[in-house]
Structure 1
């Protein structure tokens, strides 16, 4: 077991699904977190109790796309570009 004590907050309303009494709070390394047991919403709180926004995904911090792999023995067919006509 992780040893993290999670406690429900009476009267708390989930910001995502608007259900009451489904939010539980816990701390990891002194940082407060909350999560909804109904919809799975989770966030981190700052020292004043405000939600800390997650970093927006940009082209700089986004995971790099994985190139499709061609399996050995697989046939790949290329078609000429019809816009590039050779003059005879």
Structure 2
């Protein structure tokens, strides 16, 4: 089976902002969009099932921030005189 890639007229690339450089094609499972100028790629499933992909955050990152031994958190308190207007 030959893959036919078609340009999307008027489409703007979300990465580089160029117009008329996005093309689309599909295989048996997915539909793909790609930019020919900046190598942006995007795909989605044809059956509409959601992609189960967890975003990387500081909580699920494998190598978290290094904490020095004996380090203590900073505690910020409200300055009681900050809201007063004594002149």
- In structure 2, how many angstroms separate the alpha carbons of the residues matched to 1:53 and 1:38? 28
TM-score when normalising by structure 1: 0.50
**How many Å apart are 1:31 and its aligned residue?**
1.4
1:22 matched to 2:15? The reply is no
**How many Å apart are 1:33 and its aligned residue?**
0.7
2:68 aligns with none
TM-score when normalising by structure 2: 0.51
- In structure 1, how many angstroms separate the alpha carbons of the residues matched to 2:13 and 2:36? 9
Q: What secondary structure, in the 3-state scheme, does the structure 2 residue paired with 1:34 have?
A: strand
**How many Å apart are 1:28 and its aligned residue?**
1.6
**How many Å apart are 1:53 and its aligned residue?**
8.6
Cα RMSD after superposing both structures: 2.9
1:32 matched to 2:31? The reply is yes
- In structure 2, how many angstroms separate the alpha carbons of the residues matched to 1:33 and 1:53? 17
Judged with a 3 Å threshold, the aligned counterparts in structure 2 of structure 1 residues 54 and 13 are, in CA distance, closer, same or farther, namely: farther
4+ runs deviating over 3 angstroms: 52-60
2:42 aligns with 43
1:8 matched to 2:10? The reply is no
Pairing of 1:60-79 with structure 2 (within 5 A): none
